[in-house]
Amino acid sequence: MSEDLRRIEEAVERAVRRALAEARTEDLRILAEAVKTLADYVREGFKIFDERLRRIEERFEKVDERFERIDERFERIDERFKGIESRLSTLENNVKYLMSAVNELKSALGVTMEDYTAVWLSRWLEEKGYKCDVRTRITIVVNPLTGDSREVDVICWNPLVVGEVTTTIRTVEEAEREIRKLLDSVAYAEKATGAKHHAKILAVEVAPSEIAEYLERRARELDITLVLGRRY
């Protein structure tokens, strides 16, 4: 019970005792008994009210404890996320280092993106039942007299497969430029051989995710086989 309620109860009790002691007539005694009864009701009401307040305080304390536990859980989750971010950062640095090392190795060995694409194309054609000596960096001559010619990154003569290779495409404009270059190379090859192309290949080593999605959509529209190395 709170201190204020205790004082009120004591004051009421003193008033009742004084009224009973000083009562000289039956009416006063009846009135004093009524006051005492009322005081008992008031005292009991204060007890009930005080008990409810105590329960409410206990509930609030439990709620506070739950919020404290929730805060602790969020702090642990936050620490885990920080750990994951640190690991991802380390992994990203390792990947960059590995890619740099691979590029240095490719440069030292004289291996180019065209060479990788040629190996891929040979295996891709074998799976389809074709055996082809895929060539790289070939100049197609359409008219020797006029010098009408074009260099193609990757080509298989039979069946006729033409491929263009680029290291990176960063924008939609660059994507459209490479696609146009591939379509022109296919047209030159068809004109030079008199045969329809079996497939056209666009190989891209690296592209942002949104450009990669754009390339995939355009490849479906133009029936281009897209070979995409890494997206970021």
Full-prediction pTM beyond 0.95? Answer: no
pLDDT at 54: 79
pLDDT at 184: 93
CA distances in angstroms from 158 to 6, 12, 35, 110, listed in the order given: 105, 113, 117, 27
| Three-state DSSP string of the chain | CCHHHHHHHHHHHHHHHHHHHHCCCHHHHHHHHHHHHHHHHHHHHHHHHHHHHHHHHHHHHHHHHHHHHHHHHHHHHHHHHHHHHHHHHHHHHHHHHHHHHHHHHHHHHCCCHHHHHHHHHHHHHHHCCCCCCCEEEEEEEEECCCCEEEEEEEEECCCCEEEEEEEECCCHHHHHHHHHHHHHHHHHHHHHHCCCCCEEEEEEEEECHHHHHHHHHHHHHHCCEEEEEEEC
pLDDT at 62: 81
Residue that the structure tokens 């030159």 belong to:
188
In whole angstroms, give the CA distance from residue 148 to residue 4.
107
pLDDT digits 0-9 by tens, 168-195: 999 999 999 999 999 999 999 999 889 9
pLDDT digits 0-9 by tens, 104-139: 545 444 457 888 888 889 889 999 899 988 999 888
Share of the chain above pLDDT 90, in %: 31
Q: Over 90: is that where the pLDDT of 146 sits?
A: no
Mean pLDDT for all residues in the chain: 80
pLDDT band at 197 (very low <50, low <70, confident <90, very high): very high
